Amino acid sequence: MLIRSFFTNSSGILVSRIFGFIRDMLTASILGANIYSDIFFVAFKFPNLFRRVVSEGAFTQSFMPSFAKARVKSLFTISILLRFLAVIAFITLIVHLFSGFFTKLIAIGFDDATIKLAAPLTAINFYYLMLIFLVTFLGSILQYKHHFATTAFSTVLLNIAMIVALLISKDMDKQSIAYALSYGVVVGGVLQLLAHILAIKSKKLCKFFATGVKLYLQNKKDIQEDKKRFYTSFFHSIVGGSTAQILSFVDTWLASFLITGSISYLYYANRIFQLPLALFAIAIATAIFPKITRLLKNSDDINALKLMKNSFWLLAFGLCASSVGGIILSEEIIKLLFERGSFSASDTQICAYVLSMYLIGLVPFGLAKLFSLWLYGQYRQKEAAKISIYSLVFNIFASILLMQPLGASGLALAGSLSGVLLFILTIRSFGTKAFLDILIDKKLIFLLITLVIEVAILLWLKELFHGYF
């Protein structure tokens, strides 16, 4: 079950990320790293932050355990859905009306003229939040029913929509291209939602939702306890499950004070960093979370720990190999993917250094995500939130100290160091002894030998093909 679910998620993520890199390659070639790419990434950052914090992060981690324990699941589901739709619709309206103010919040270093350029794009991109919340909501129901494929593969639809927008607008001026990309984001969200609606229909879950609506209108069942459990868990999870996303927001905010192009360097490097994080950490976490939730609900800690151990070693091999390989080949990766058109050789060097700094934090961030599932499954979201707050505060201070001497690379390094702290504190809450029982295994020796061989091979290949890149 673990392997099958993992490969379903990872293959879907891989296909999506391939199209995502095609999108980014086109964006780098057509827009480059300049003021127009910066304002689009700022505008795209805002709904993405809300999406990852509210929808994919806090919501899923809180909804799944609450859904498992709900006495009347259909009524609980509809109640949560309607409440969130109302809140998100209100937030979207406010952002639309005051887009300049919210744009300034993201990129406080932008001058008034740049804010004026970026504000309309922020308003357009924010409509994606409503769509992706519905996608995440329906995806959570499908995952509980052990259907992962639709959610895993649907993100490719967003990337395809943005690729089409780039190709249609490539001969236009830079500002028009940024607008086309923004409308492409909204179209991609519509396509993702349609894919999930079709999956719900194919799994014969329409009756489940219809029953929930009927019970909601009749208001015959009392689910206040279930809703209170969910909302308490959710508000703690907003912080606890979203550290990486909030750190990315902080990076963008601080990078707006640095040289033009810094936001774009962080974006392109972070996109590569996110590939192994999603391919391994997110894919495994998504695959095992429903199972972990059920096991902990039934007080079956033995099998839950066994599942954690198997997941840990699968994740450790993937993340360690990706981190080492990415750092050694950082310049080659950036050059291959982005150095064309408006993206110059000097842009490649800066971006590659930023990527290396991000990759230092790949292993701790990925492992922290895995072990945090144990806390969420046990309704220890408040504890996870405190851990994340400590990590965030550390990141802000480290970013301020490192951004001047190292520029965008300093922001990336600060994020990685905060990831190390996040991992240490998460393991302490999970249980240091329990973690050591997982770690002390013959697989550790095999992992270290594998990494030494990988380093030797990559350095040899790097020297062999020196000059080709």
**Helix axis angle, 149-169 relative to 174-202, nearest 10°?**
150
Residue 146 has phi, psi (to 5 degrees) of 65, 35
Mean pLDDT of 352-379: 90
Q: What is the mean pLDDT of the chain?
A: 84
Give the pLDDT mean for 34-41: 75
Q: What are phi and psi of 378, to 5 degrees?
A: -100, 15
- Single-letter amino acid, residue 469: F
What is the rounded distance in angstroms from the CA atom of residue 132 to the CA atom of residue 404? Answer: 36
Per-residue pLDDT tens over the stretch 206-237: 899 998 888 888 875 677 777 888 877 777 77
Rounded Cα gap, residues 70 and 76, in angstroms: 7
Does 21 have pLDDT greater than 70? yes
User: What CA–CA distances, in Å, run from 37 to 30, 254, 380?
Assistant: 9, 17, 40
Confidence check: pLDDT of 277 > 70: yes
Q: Is the pLDDT of residue 54 over 60?
A: no
What one-character DSSP code corresponds to residue 59?
A: I
Alpha helix stretches (DSSP H) within 329-380: 330-338, 345-359, 362-377
For residue 300, the model assigns a pLDDT of 84
Whether the CB-CB separation of 43 and 321 falls below 8 Å is answered with no
Percent of the chain past pLDDT 70, that is, above it, reads 90
Take residue 113 and report the two structure tokens written for it: 């003229």
Give dist(CA 410, CA 407) in Å, integer: 5
User: Of 154, 374, 368, 380, nearest to 281 (Cα)?
Assistant: 368
427 φ/ψ angles, rounded to the nearest 5 degrees: -65, -40
Q: Tokens for 401?
A: 């100290």
Domain ranges of the chain: 2-464
The string of pLDDT tens digits covering residues 123-136 is 898 899 889 889 98
Q: Which of 41-64 are b and which e, b meaning 16 or more Cβ less than 10 Å from the residue's Cβ?
A: bbbbbbbbbbbbbbbbbbbbbbbb
The first and second tokens of residue 451, run together, are: 């990494």
Q: How far apart are CA 104 and CA 116, in angstroms?
A: 10
Measured over the CA atoms of residue 408, residue 410, residue 411 and residue 412, the dihedral's sign is positive
CA angle 102, 108, 112 (to 5 degrees): 85
Question: Is 193 a residue whose pLDDT tops 80?
Answer: yes
Proportion of the chain in helix, strand, coil states, percent, rounded to 5: 85, 0, 15
pLDDT of residue 50: 64
This model's pTM is above 0.85: no
Is 127 in a helix, a strand, or coil?
helix
| Helix (H) or strand (E) run with residue 200 in it | helix 174-202
Which pLDDT score is estimated for 279? 82
pLDDT tens for each residue of 95-124: 888 888 888 776 666 777 878 888 888 889
36-41: average pLDDT: 76
CA geometry: angle at 133 spanning 166 and 138, to 5°?
A: 110
The lowest-confidence range among 101-110, 172-181, 394-403 is 101-110
